[in-house]
Amino acid sequence: MTALDNPRASDSSPRNETLVSNDRGFSLLEMMIVVLILMIVCGIGFISLQPALKQAHVDSAYDTTLMALRNYRSRAITERKRYIVAFTAPGTITISYWGVAVPVNPAPVVVSTLQLPLDVQFAVQAGIPTSPATVPDGFGNGGTAIDFDQGVGLGSQSYVMFMPDGSSQDTLGNLNSGVLYLGRPKDLLSMRAVTVFGSTGRIRGWRLTTPGGGAQWSQQ
């Protein structure tokens, strides 16, 4: 009987042994090398993305703070209601509705609570401008993170209350102007600020920059 007549003989040929060997896939060592390379690439990518992620957290905290103020000022006007926006360090924003009744107003009711990213805080830090001419809109001295009720008593109130006419007041009826600061600890150029004008309720955002080497606030 020849090899052609015997299928088993043809299956054991050197050529077929080579094909079987080539079909076995990757070895364990090869797989380990591939996994190691992927881990190194992912690690490099993660490290390179850290500055962008930190910047995104600051931008998110800043946008959240601005939008909370602007949104509830708008709602106070359109709904003819009073909304209190309060700030608590390190990073909590609490919004309350304060109804009107005779003879005694009811207690404020919390309608929303917002939280900043954990690595961003309402805070000040060394290096920000402190003189009256350099702080945002001339409010405060750069030494207090949440500094409303400017010019009323000791100031440093931690909230604003938007009225149906759009103005910002405190709970005693005084016009309530001020500023708050936020940023990442020990990261001076991450600092942002938001100001509120009592008479109009106008809200402005600020960013710390160093155009000439010295830190100064630029309106955004």
DSSP letter, residue 171: T
Residue with tokens 């942002």: 192
With a CB cutoff of 8 Å and minimum separation 6, the contacts of 43 are none
Q: Domain for residue 37, yes or no?
A: no
Q: How many domains does the chain have?
A: 1
Q: Domain for residue 108, yes or no?
A: yes
Q: Domain for residue 5, yes or no?
A: no
Q: Domain for residue 122, yes or no?
A: yes
Residue 20, pLDDT > 60, answer no
Express each pLDDT in 47-82 by its tens digit.
665 667 788 999 999 999 999 999 999 999 999 999
CATH number of the domain to which 197 belongs: 3.55.40.10
pLDDT grade for 34, boundaries at 50, 70 and 90: confident
User: What does the alpha-carbon distance between residue 177 and residue 167 come to, in Å, rounded to a whole number?
Assistant: 10
Torsion of Cα atoms, 180 then 183 then 185 then 189, to 10°: -120
Q: What residue numbers bound the domain in which 111 lies? A: 58-219
Q: Domain for residue 141, yes or no?
A: yes
Q: Domain for residue 40, yes or no?
A: no
Q: Domain for residue 77, yes or no?
A: yes
Residue 146, pLDDT > 80, answer yes
User: What does the alpha-carbon distance between residue 87 and residue 80 come to, in Å, rounded to a whole number?
Assistant: 23
Cα 203 to chain center, whole Å? 18
How confident is the prediction for the chain on average, in pLDDT? 87
User: What does the alpha-carbon distance between residue 41 and residue 92 come to, in Å, rounded to a whole number?
Assistant: 37
The strand pair at 216-219 and 203-209 is best described as antiparallel
Among the ranges given (30-44, 100-114, 140-154, 171-185), the one the predictor scored with the smallest mean pLDDT: 30-44
Predicted TM-score (pTM) above 0.85? no
